[in-house]
Chain A
Amino acid sequence: MTALSPSLAPQTRRRLALGSRHALPVALVAVFLLFSALAPGFLSLANLESVLVNNFTLLSIVAIAMTFAIAAGGIDLSIGTAVDFASFSFVTLVLSGQPVPLALAAGLGGGALVGLFNAVLIAGIGISPFLATLGTLFIGRSVQQLLTNGGNPVYLPPAGVPESFRFLGRGTVAGLPVPLLVAGAIILIAGLILSRSRFGRVVSATGTEAEVVRYSGLTLKAHLAGTYVLVALIAAVAGLVLTSTVTVYIPSSGNAFLLNAIGAAFIGTTLHPHGRPNIAGTVLGVLLLSLVANGLLMSGLNFYWQQVGTGLLIFTVLALSFASRKA
């Protein structure tokens, strides 16, 4: 977090811990109550499920991926590229008649490739993550155009390919939608990795003070490289779920998640006592964004107010937490 937050005096740190830590949960409750009152259909079970499935699932997976990059003191602007590459690899293999499990594995591989490329740039050469992943994003865009004859979508037709490719996106297990279960699993595993594992501890330390990690006899570069591969792998899962749901690969469509993922991850840092990126915070951040988007829609407000609402919300949470750190 030090990379992104101004240096803070100890007493303000403590005040931050006491004061603005509650900004996110309070906002969440407020938003929930507000829309329950304003929008008649908001509280219905069907609507809340739709929030989870339509708004929450994919963004939460991508935002969790982004959380690792930010925790390591960096950022991954090419996160959508990993989503796209996973999606493209998956679609291509399914269309060429390969079994679905193989296609899924290839999808993960395709996404990981993007992460590997970033890892070489960031850990190997030492380019700043912002510039490295920006370059990857642009190259990835061209590569996708080249692969698709100038950016044509690739459809998975209902006939001629195994139905099972839809399972990940549209299946249910015990009445629960599979995408939601996947998101749940990712949340649990990612939470375990970031807050309980040795790898996660070193990643957090890297984001806090990379030089201390090196001076402690730890392999800084390996952990940085691992972080960006992990980010891409998690994003790839989102790509697979997305493709399986909409049954089409649209070049460069993964970018749509980028800004909300960054926003959610940073909103999430306000939940942590020391302002660090964390999975629970990210998940609540995504939930907040999802509820606001849905709530604005349900209150009959013009669809276009959604973006203004989310923007204002992110701005307010950031202003509250940063200003209280500064004071």
Chain B
Amino acid sequence: MLAETAFVTPATPYHPGEEAAVPARSQIGLHAAKLGLQGGAFAVFALVLLIFALSSPIFLSPFNLGNILAQSAISGVLAIGLTVVIIAGGGNVVTGGIDLSLAANMGLSAAVYASLSQAGQPDAVAAGAALATGLVIGAVNAVAVTRFAIVPLLATLAVMNIVGGLELVLTQNTVIPAVTPLLETLSGAGPLGVPVLAYGLIGFALVTALAVQATPLGLRIQAVGSFPEAARASGLAVNRFVAGSFLFSGLSGGLAGIFSAAYLSGSTTGAGELLLPVVVTALLGPVFSRRLVPSITGTLLSALFVGVLINGFQLLNLSSTLVSGIQGLLILLVVSATTLLKRKEG
């Protein structure tokens, strides 16, 4: 009785410790490949750091490292917001979680902040309005995706157009300068001579990482994104988590808007240019995580990796335009590797 099922799967011993002693050869290969994929990203990061450190004397100076962090602050905050949407919506970029309106959101929020400051409003009002702008955009996305059931890719694409247009209307496609105490503090140097923006990025990443990776709420968000049926079976209201993730990414857009106003001393045009780099940064995040899944810390590392590349290329007087190619190649390599791995496992 029952022994016929032995043909379905090889029997797995009940003590995987024993099993590890005599795994099939192909299994070893798969594990090695997986480890390689996980470790490889860190190794590449370390190698890049090493090369830049050796070729440029100032690369490792605290000032420069702080600079990298500050430069990465805007795209980092956006990528982290996007990562939360991806975690809650699932890894399928078309039907799953994606927020294409993030970069435009940042542009509009920055413009709102700058215009209000210029109109003489105090920082608290301007900053509050910028964050509220982001939140409203997030709410529109949330309603479009969970109520109207528009696939996120299309919903956020349409919202991106509207938001980008509103920014143009507000700024008449001009730069709105803003000099306020808040912006001066943010763009100035903080403790240890490191820019305050750098602390901003680290702080935001830390709080988000704790919430997503160390709380029950975070665990549930992960469950909702990676296996909605399992989450539903555990009594979780999937749509609420998805809506919440869009609200959060909206808020990230608002925060990035304030950061960008600080970094550029006002609002500038062309925020939309940042969209695809941010998407790639978030999608590259999983290779910097232990389980090869989207994670906040992974995305932070991915953002810093891109920041380091841009900074290093500048120091070495190389064209930083190569960065985009490297990002593209990396993403294709990583995804090809995971796809081929999966095919072998399947």
Contact = CB atoms under 8 A, between A and B. Distances in A.
Contacts of B324: 138-139, 141-142, 145
Interface in A125-154: 125-128, 130-132, 134-143, 145-146, 150-151
A262 B100 CA distance: 13
B144 A138 contact: no
Interface stretch (A168-176, A185-193, A232-240, A315-323): A315-323
A312 interface: yes
Interface stretch (A13-21, A212-220, A300-308): A300-308
Interface string A283-327: 000000000000000000011111111111011001100110110
A318 B94 contact: no
Interface residues of A, number: 51
B65 interface: no
Nearest to A73: B94
A131 B283 contact: yes
Interface stretch (B47-55, B114-122, B211-219, B333-341): B333-341
B173 A304 contact: yes
Given A137-B328, A141-B321, A318 B155 contact: yes
A128 B165 contact: no
Contact of A127 (B149, B150, B164, B336): B336
Contact of A319 (B148, B283, B321, B335): B148
B335 A314 contact: no
A318 B335 CA distance: 31
A3 B95 contact: yes
B169 interface: yes
Contacts, number: 161
Nearest to B283: A131
A311 B276 contact: no
A310 B325 CA distance: 32
B166 interface: yes
Interface in B135-193: 144, 147-151, 153-155, 157-166, 168-169, 172-173
A75 B331 contact: no
21 contacts: A4-B153, A121-B336, A131-B335, A136-B328, A137-B276, A140-B328, A141-B324, A142-B324, A145-B324, A150-B319, A262-B157, A302-B172, A304-B168, A306-B165, A307-B164, A307-B168, A308-B165, A310-B161, A311-B159, A315-B159, A319-B148
Interface of B: 92-95, 144, 147-151, 153-155, 157-166, 168-169, 172-173, 276, 279-280, 283, 319, 321-329, 331-332, 335-336, 339-340, 343
Given A141-B328, A312-B162, A314-B157, 15 more contacts: A125-B339, A126-B340, A127-B336, A131-B93, A131-B332, A134-B283, A136-B328, A145-B319, A146-B325, A259-B160, A259-B161, A308-B166, A318-B144, A325-B149, A326-B149
